[in-house]
Structure 1
């Protein structure tokens, strides 16, 4: 769990997701587990990811009540609260509508390690939620998302978007960025025809260990955050 102000972490994650192409007008949201167990610190609704500042983040209870902060609450809060309830190891959740990830899942394709990125998900893979492609508006649907996610780090909401998680929001954010890059690379590779190749299970697990240790994931977060600072400078 991050020791930073959770509102700042949510704001930075939101802007990173926008800067890396996951923006979808005013939709998409990220959250941090409240360190005092009251719920989640969640991006406010009615703003684009790129517009989020610490003042546009509020505390939402598991029942959907806004406990601190103003603004409109996202209707899909159960994605965050129910995943957090089911996964004590999770400190941050990302839900966005990344274009290539949506396309790959809708095509019915499995994620293949044709590049470094897909190896990030080696071992547990990226399961699929198919109960509905509509919004996750109820706690029951949120529990279904959590159940299909299982112990994985990412989930395709087929015809809808993705959910990624991590021990902190920094890791969940990096996972979302990497998943979209992996899906784009796979669609590009398969689009050329020919005889595509990819890593086998043993090599894929080794590549995950070599390329994506926790320290490297946080270095990626720092890199993405620095890029935001460069844009504002």
Structure 2
């Protein structure tokens, strides 16, 4: 006999949140491992654009972060070939050079103490949408983690290897978790690697949905109150962990060389 059919939505949401806290516990993966897996997840998710794009995560020491070596594609990144760099992009650990465009990551980390991971790619559909100089429109339930949480930079500041571009992009991002960069691509941030990875997967899907919908008619808006409720419900740390674990298991099946040591996910 069912006992919950008369429970309110608040009661059911609270119960689900308690269950997620119980079932989705802390990950055993290191930051290096999470970042390497994120590179493979991005590659499989259509974020590959040759050597373009950077993925980074804060290191243990202030003013340091991990990122990939220039010259390696996302499908070649492992936990062992990641670099640890300082704010001037000087290599502290690892061999090779970082992408000079990583400079604007430094500006974002300095502006946003809450950000511990940054993913910037030129994925196909976000890049295509960026060519239209229109913001990302969130109008479908699955994409609501980005509702009112994706900024838009209409003016292309050029190749982001200078400090000027870092200032412009970090300012345009503001307090949002994501930004669509006109004539460029996208950038997402997260308090955790899991959060940033989940948003990176999602923003590419959202851009693809928007382009498909725009080709068929006029995109209709979501009711704001319900959209904000959905944003908050789908943006929890536990849900990000669950999403990332799924993406990571799938990536490891496709790329077993990504991690040096086997880790239970």
- TM-score (normalised: structure 2): 0.81
Aligned length: 231
Do the aligned partners of 1:122 and 1:205 also contact (CA within 8 Å) in 2?
Answer: yes
2:41 to 7, 11, 16: 16
Equivalent position to 1:200, from 208, 217, 223: 223
Q: Hey, what does 1:121 align to over in structure 2? A: 146
Q: Which has the larger radius of gyration?
A: 2
Query: Residue 60 of structure 2 aligns with which residue?
Result: 35
The 2-side partners of 1:131 and 1:191 are apart by 25
TM-superposed CA distance for 1:3, in Å, is 7.7
Aligned twin of 1:86: 111
- What is the Cα deviation at residue 124 of structure 1? 3.4
Task: Rate the CA distance shift 1:123–1:53 in 2: closer, same or farther, 3 A.
Answer: same
Cα 1:117–1:78 shift into 2, 3 Å:
farther
Q: For structure 1, which segment, 117-126 or 58-67, has the greater mean C-alpha deviation from structure 2 after superposition?
A: 117-126
Structure 1: segments with no counterpart, 5+ residues: none
Q: CA deviation at 1:148?
A: 0.8
Q: Structure 2: how far apart are the matches of 1:140 and 1:107?
A: 24
Q: 1:142 aligns with which of 166, 173, 194?
A: 166
Displaced runs of 4 or more, over 4 A: none
2:71 paired with 1:46 = yes
Residue 96 of structure 2 aligns with which residue? 71
Bigger shift: 108-117 or 141-150?
108-117
Deviation, structure 1 residue 79: 2.1
2:242 to 212, 219, 230: 219
Partner in structure 2 of residue 97 of structure 1: 122
Q: Report the CA distance shift for 1:82/1:3 in structure 2 as closer, same or farther (over 3 A).
A: farther
Greater mean deviation of Cα atoms: 43-52 or 103-112: 103-112
Alignment check: 8 A CA contact 2:153 2:169 kept: no
The alignment yields a C-alpha RMSD, in angstroms, of: 2.0
Instruction: Give the match's secondary structure for 1:85.
Output: helix
Tell me if structure 2 keeps the 8 A contact 1:94–1:173. Answer: yes
